[in-house]
Structure 1
Amino acid sequence: MHTGFLTIYWRDMLRFVRFRSLLFASLIQPALWLAFFGIAMSNNFDRLTSTLPPIPGIKAVGYLTFICAGVIAMTTLFTSLFGGTVLLFDKNWGLMRETLSSPLPRIHIIVGIGLSGMTKSFIQAAVIMGLGLLLGVQFFEGYTPARILISLLGIMLFIGAFSLGFLFLSAAIAITMESPEGMQAVITLLTMPFFFTSNALYPSNSFPPVLRALSTVNPLTHLVSGIRYFAIGSDFSSIGIHYIYTQGEILVSFLALLAFAVIMFLIARWRFSKVTVT
């Protein structure tokens, strides 16, 4: 049984841990984003919505809680899209040529990079949730210990499926590109529409019809909805809007993320089967 993907996985994780500046930035930057942007925007939104009458019998949460799920999703998106950059550097430094000429099946390269990127996303999500709770984010409020564990598992399943999809996409882009600058340009171009047509920072039901349609098929929207369902609940209000998530809707969101991951994996495998590194 081939276990070459574990070698790729551990190699990338060791690089992640040993490069202290990279480790520090990847963990602290999203936490600072939540601390500064989240608190600043929360104060503004809470002040604007303070005059709105509360919805009777519905749990109300502040904007900081609302946006925390979006920050987790945003961080996962950025980490996953840039996760394939290591393949581009390996290709430019000649390491990819050695890997591809070995008996290791090419599919193991994709799987190893996907698993390492997913692990990084798990670590970052845990850091953001921990800091968020310290800042007053109302995650898991009133949950029993058993329900908290189930909710954490649900959040990680959503993050895992989402991150794998974008890591496979990143790997397909990396093996196609010739320069880090070109890949960075492509990734930057991709992050903008995914991020700003999602419900990460604001409700998507107030979008114009075209943007609302894009939000519906946006994987980031499905991830944010899953995180809010497990971390906040299925019925809550925030910034004056009532949110209801049914189990059927969350299941559809998870299946959509799985389908996206499978499609991206097939694309990445096709690109790796065609590549020739000299």
Structure 2
Amino acid sequence: MRMAFLTIYWRDMIRFVRFRALLFSSLLQPALWMAFFGVAMSSNFDRLTSAVPVPAGAFSVEYLTFMAAGVIAMTTLFTSLFGGISLLFDKNWGLMREMMASPIPRTDIMIGISLSGMTKSFIQVLIIMVFGLLIGVNFFPGYPPLQIAYSVLGLLLFVGVFSLGFLFLSSTISMRMESPEGLQGVITLLTLPLFFVSNALYPIQAFPPFLQALSVLNPLTYLVTGIRYFTIGSDFFAIGTHYSYTAIDILIAFGALATFTTVMYAVAWQTFRKAVIT
């Protein structure tokens, strides 16, 4: 029974593939965001910042490339927060009661759903990167093939840890909610502050002190930092701001995400352990 989470995982992946409308919308939406919003905003930001001198040793990055990393993070956030909705459907359809009454450990249900959500995030991230390269995003500038492979693995590591944290959070919320509408309302309430109080679309250096403090506590900020480090580099210039990352900065970002995920796992574990499904 200790491998029961694989059954939960495979069942959720089959459901994801069979729901064609959900599959295509989840893959198409971030691509459209990048294609329309990214291209339109890139022309404006690049024009406004073209006169700002680039610091010595750094290379200039167009806004489309800068924003593409934010779109990857945004997609991961949205996918992860909505990942737990399948648990709510199982509750409403009576399937969760059957699973809870079976010999399957309750944590396997949580882990299976979370691993499925993480896999969906990986698929979306890879598709977005390929689509971005096709429309002119300058990821992996001048990287040899081995460094590209290393960078993709590093990016997926950051995405995976971040995704698990928010999937555990989503599972916790889903187990406490009774209707999909209520869950969507809570998730919408979470996504907008998390997305806009981060460095996904613009530098946080110009934020008021209060918002800067919130961005430091925002897990999405650390995910975007990791994505930009692996896809753009450790020293670049974008939107009039000089970005320079050290290995220590990336380790701190990863540690922050790992801590967040560990806390969310503990909260989700307590929720599943005490859950009563009638």
Interval of TM-score (by shorter of Structure 1 and Structure 2): over 0.9
Compute the displacement of 1:53 (Å): 2.3
d(CA) in 2 for partners of 1:50, 1:273? 56
| Paired position in structure 1 for 2:253 | 253
Deviation at 1:58, TM superposition (A): 1.5
Match of 1:15 in 2: 15
Asked whether 1:87 is paired with 2:87, we answer: yes
CA distance in 2, matches of 1:193, 1:274: 30
| Deviation for aligned residue 1:54 | 2.7
Q: Distance in 2 between matches of 1:124 and 1:83?
A: 13
Which residue of the partner structure matches residue 74 of structure 2?
74
Distance 2:59 2:128 in 1: 23
Distance 1:157 1:205 in 2: 26
Distance in 2 separating the partners of 1:247 and 1:57: 17
Corresponding residue of 1:202: 202
Query: 1:11, 1:220 → 2: CA distance?
Result: 29
The residue matched to 1:277 in structure 2 has which SS?
coil
Paired residue secondary structure (1:237): strand
Name the SS for the 2:202 alignment partner. coil
Cα distance in 2 between the residues matched to 1:104 and 1:188:
32
| Cα offset, 1:199, TM superposition | 0.2
User: For residues 53-132 of structure 1, what are the structure 2 equivalents within 5 Å?
Assistant: 53-132=53-132
Task: Determine the C-alpha separation between the residues in 2 that align with 1:233 and 1:179.
Answer: 44
Partner of 1:45: 45
Q: Which residue of 2 aligns with 1:137?
A: 137
Shift of 1:263: 0.6
Q: CA RMSD in A?
A: 0.8
What does residue 214 of structure 1 align with? 214
Structure 1: gaps of 5 or more residues: none
- Tell me the equivalent position of 2:273: 273
Report deviation, 1:90.
Answer: 0.3
* Equivalent residue, structure 2, for 1:232: 232
Q: Report the 3-state secondary structure (helix = DSSP H, G, I; strand = E; otherwise coil) of the residue aligned with 2:242.
A: strand
Distance (Å, rounded) in 2 between the aligned partners of 1:54 and 1:237:
6
2:172 corresponds in structure 1 to: 172
Letter in 2 for 1:170: S
Report the count of equivalent residues: 278
- In the other structure, the counterpart of 1:241 is 241
Distance 2:67 2:127 in 1: 15
1:239 to partner: Cα distance: 1.3
Q: TM-score scaled to structure 2, two decimals? A: 0.99
State the distance in 2 between where 1:53 and 1:160 align. Answer: 37
Secondary structure (helix, strand or coil) at the match of 1:243 reads strand
Matched AA of 2:265: F
Alignment identity in percent? 66
Q: 1:56 Cα shift?
A: 3.0
Deviations 1:56-86 (A, max 9, x none): 3311110000000000000000000000000
The structure 1 segments of at least 4 consecutive aligned residues displaced by more than 3 Å after TM superposition are none
Could you give the per-residue CA deviations for residues 171-226 of structure 1, whole angstroms, max 9, x where no partner exists? 00000001111111111111111111100000011100010011111100000000
**Aligned-partner Cα distance in 2 for 1:193–1:29:** 20
Letter in 2 for 1:244: S
User: In 2, Cα distance between the equivalents of 1:218 and 1:202?
Assistant: 15
Tell me the secondary structure at the aligned position of residue 141 of structure 1: coil
Structure 1 residue identity aligned to 2:20? R
- State how far apart, in whole Å, the 1-side matches of 2:27 and 2:51 are: 37
Aligned partner letter, 2:149: L
